[in-house]
């Protein structure tokens, strides 16, 4: 019996026991009655369930009536579907979509930044995202996110980068670069091209020292970047094989997951060889194997390797689609934008200043017109979509991660992109039940959070969604959220929309 099947049987046994011994409800309780529970431990939706919630946790899930105290909050769940809240395992809460680098600390941009900071966690919740994993971001940004009155539960990774490597490579001024990315690993063998910065102590920039420092800050994973350049460029330094081995050994020693940024076939092969736990991007750069249709044997072999080695995989299809959206005529007119973007920020996106990244990207592409740029990115996107479908067809459990924002594009927005990521998975040919698992139990298991989240089950955190459609049958379920339940508090979805100033 496979582990997951065993867990399923045990859950059903527990379910049976709970059906017999029903806990009476108390005054402060929340009772959702006669609801259809859609949860990954069940092969099919469970109709007519009564779900009792107390002190932010699920007390019982039962088809038997629950005797509720007079003060208990009751929700009539008839005709509705109760699911676990979604987890997005790839976000960057400190970056405002569309801002130039460093604009977050520019006083002139403070009103827009602050409006975004207030709305960001609400936008995640608006699309049913009740847990996020922040990969790379400052402690200040995390604190600002958690200071908001309503926010998803946040978990963190720490980032260990190569000295002068991606993503610090974008910052030309070394002083600014080392200040923005202090957790770099120095490799003496690379000293000629990438010398230790003046005043730095080599002993504090070994793999062991950097991972030790990040571990003591309470992260649950370490992110590394296997990226030698975008497009035809490949001149950014990446860690040597020996350094990767030391990073792997140190993360294992400290019980931390190792997450790799890698989206090109040569880079993902390095990630597989380095025995990372999770590849944080889909495979959309096929390099010499590029072809308009099908899946070349070399790409298929790599993906089978990912599957055989049980490496977690985040398709992050929105990364490239979010670039295509820069060049779409209707991106800022999308009605969903008004729900998740503060009005002042939405207005700024439409100004010449707000279009800076679109114009920079156009320049990078040789000054092409909008349609051509959009088409180019949609073609690149199709590679990632084909790889995603192939992995799913192998039976590989996918992880839902939007990488919001992956670049300074206004085409990436919190919450909305988690939903659009799921929609792109569906467009790639991933069935709805597999997408549901990617956003619930797969993420919870991968990141060691399945005791707390991932199913509607007694004992778990009451981060739940009440939907008006079944997410195993229609994507529309994710845009017809009735209420979000956050640690037992009931929030009407519309109250989470960006305020109209």
Contact 293, 313 (CB under 8 A): no
Given the complex with Zn ion, which of 15 and 377 has the nearer CB atom?
Answer: 377
Q: Which residues of 458-475 are buried (b: 16+ CB within 10 A; e: fewer)?
A: bebbbbbbbbebbbbeeb
User: Closest CB to Zn ion among 45 and 121?
Assistant: 121
- CA-to-CA separations, 325 to 135, 173, 262, 382, in angstroms, rounded: 23, 30, 22, 15
Taking the least distance from each CB to Zn ion, the nearer of 187 and 403 is: 403
Closer residue to Zn ion in complex, CB, 83/381: 381
CB of 154 to Zn ion, least distance (A): 15
Task: Tell me which stretch binds Zn ion (CB under 5 A): 67-75, 119-127, 397-405, 479-487.
Answer: 397-405
* Nearest approach, Cβ of residue 362 and Zn ion (Å): 23
Identify which range of 76-84, 124-132, 145-153, 398-406 contacts Zn ion by CB under 5 A. 398-406
Q: Which stretch, 60-68, 282-290, 401-409, 428-436, contacts Zn ion (CB under 5 A)? A: 401-409
| Shortest separation between residue 403's beta carbon and Zn ion, angstroms | 4
For position 403 contacting Zn ion by CB under 5 A, the verdict is yes
Cβ 225 to Zn ion shortest distance, Å: 9
> Rounded to the nearest whole angstrom, what is the least distance from the CB of residue 92 to Zn ion in the complex?
6
- DSSP class per residue in 421-453: HHHHHHHHT--HHHHHHHHTHHHHHHTT-TTTS
- The Cα–Cα gap between 399 and 444 comes to 9
Shortest gap between Cβ of 405 and Zn ion (angstroms)? Answer: 8
The distance of closest approach from Cβ of residue 22 to Zn ion in the complex, given in angstroms and rounded to an integer, is: 45
Hey, what's the torsion of the CAs at 133, 134, 135, 137, to 10 degrees?
-170
Q: How many CB atoms neighbour CB 297 within 10 A?
A: 9
Q: Does 95 bind Zn ion (CB under 5 A)?
A: no
| 441/339 Cα distance (integer angstroms) | 28
Distance (Å, whole) CA 138 – CA 181: 10
Query: Minimal CB distance to Zn ion: which residue?
Result: 403
> Count of residues binding Zn ion (CB under 5 A)?
1
> Is 227 among the residues that bind Zn ion (CB under 5 A)?
no
Supply the minimum distance, in Å, between the C-beta of residue 108 and Zn ion. 26
Q: What are phi and psi of 235, to 5 degrees?
A: -125, 5
- Closest contact distance (angstroms) between CB of 90 and Zn ion is 6
- The distance of Cα 458 from the centroid of its chain, to the nearest Å, equals 26
228/403 with CB nearer Zn ion: 403
| Selected range binding Zn ion among 168-176, 230-238, 396-404, 490-498, rule: CB under 5 A | 396-404
Q: Give the interface segment with Zn ion, choosing from 30-38, 264-272, 403-411, 471-479 (CB under 5 A).
A: 403-411
Nearest-approach distance from CB 279 to Zn ion, in angstroms: 12
Q: Pick the closer one to Zn ion by CB: 87 or 469.
A: 87
Of the pair 318, 396, the CB lying nearest Zn ion is at 318
Peptide bond before residue 473 is cis, with ω within 30 degrees of 0: no
Binding segment for Zn ion among 285-293, 379-387, 402-410, 461-469 (CB under 5 A)? 402-410
Q: How many CA atoms lie within 13 A of 491 on its CB side?
A: 29
Among the listed residues 295, 291, 214, the one whose alpha carbon sits nearest the alpha carbon of residue 255: 214
Q: For Zn ion, which stretch binds (CB under 5 A), given 186-194, 333-341, 373-381, 400-408? A: 400-408
Alpha-helix runs per DSSP H in 147-274: 174-180, 207-215, 241-253, 265-273
- 179 SS3 class: helix
Is residue 145 within 8 A of residue 93, CB to CB? The reply is yes
Q: Cβ 179 to Zn ion, closest distance in Å?
A: 20
Strands 129-135 and 86-91, how do they pair? parallel
Judge contact between 81 and 470, C-beta under 8 A.
Answer: yes
Comparing CB distances to Zn ion, the nearer of 36 and 134 is 134
Q: Cα(316)–Cα(313) distance, rounded to whole angstroms?
A: 9
- Of 124-132, 395-403, 436-444, 489-497, which part binds Zn ion (CB under 5 A)? 395-403
With respect to Zn ion, which residue has the nearer C-beta, 224 or 346? 224
**Which of residues 29 and 403 has its CB atom nearest to Zn ion in the complex?**
403
Residues 6+ apart with CB under 8 A from 110: none
Residues that bind Zn ion (CB under 5 A): 403
């Amino acid at each position: 019996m496979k582990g997951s099947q065993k867990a399923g049987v045990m859950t059903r046994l527990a379910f049976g026991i709970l059906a017999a011994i029903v806990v009476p409800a108390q005054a402060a309780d929340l009772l959702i009655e006669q609801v259809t529970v859609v949860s990954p431990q069940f092969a099919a939706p469970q109709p007519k369930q009564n779900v009792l919630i107390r002190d932010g946790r699920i007390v019982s899930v039962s088809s038997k009536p629950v005797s509720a105290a007079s003060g208990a909050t009751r929700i009539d769940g008839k005709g509705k579907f109760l699911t676990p809240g979604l987890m997005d395992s790839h976000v960057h809460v400190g970056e405002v979509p569309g801002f130039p680098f460093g604009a977050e600390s520019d006083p002139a941009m403070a009103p827009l930044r602050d409006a975004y900071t207030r709305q960001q966690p609400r936008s995640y919740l608006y699309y049913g995202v009740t847990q996020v994993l922040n990969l790379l971001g400052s402690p200040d940004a995390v604190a600002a996110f958690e200071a908001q009155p309503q926010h998803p539960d946040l978990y963190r990774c720490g980032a260990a980068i190569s000295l002068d490597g991606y993503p610090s490579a974008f910052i030309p001024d070394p002083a600014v670069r080392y200040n923005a990315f202090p957790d770099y690993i120095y490799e003496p063998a690379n000293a000629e091209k990438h010398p230790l910065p003046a005043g730095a102590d080599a002993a504090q920039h070994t793999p062991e020292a950097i991972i030790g420092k990040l571990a003591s800050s309470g992260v649950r994973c370490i992110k590394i970047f296997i990226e030698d350049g975008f497009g035809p460029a490949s001149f950014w330094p990446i860690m040597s094989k020996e350094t990767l081995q030391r990073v792997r050994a140190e993360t294992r020693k400290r019980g931390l997951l190792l997450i790799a940024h890698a989206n090109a076939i040569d880079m993902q092969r390095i990630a597989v060889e380095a025995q990372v736990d999770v590849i944080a991007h889909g495979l959309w750069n096929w390099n010499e194997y590029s072809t308009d249709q099908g899946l070349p044997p070399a790409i298929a072999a790599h993906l089978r390797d990912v599957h055989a080695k049980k490496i977690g995989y985040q398709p992050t299809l929105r990364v490239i689609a979010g670039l295509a959206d820069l060049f779409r005529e209707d991106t800022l007119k999308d009605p969903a934008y008004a729900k998740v973007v503060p009005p002042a920020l939405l207005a700024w996106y439409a100004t010449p200043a707000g279009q800076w990244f679109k114009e920079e990207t156009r320049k990078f592409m040789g000054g092409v017109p909008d349609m051509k740029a959009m088409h180019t990115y949609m073609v690149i996107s199709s590679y990632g979509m084909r790889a995603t479908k192939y992995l799913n067809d192998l039976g590989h459990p996918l992880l839902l991660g939007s990488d919001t924002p992956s670049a300074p594009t206004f085409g990436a927005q919190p919450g909305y992109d988690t939903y659009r990521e799921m929609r792109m998975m569906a467009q790639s040919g991933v069935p709805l039940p597999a997408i549901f698992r990617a956003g619930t139990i797969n993420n919870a298991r991968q990141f060691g959070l399945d005791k707390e989240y991932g199913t509607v089950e007694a004992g778990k955190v009451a981060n739940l969604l009440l939907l008006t459609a079944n997410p195993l049958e229609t994507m529309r379920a994710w845009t017809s959220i009735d209420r979000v339940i956050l640690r037992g508090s009931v929030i009407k979805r519309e109250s989470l929309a960006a305020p109209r100033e």
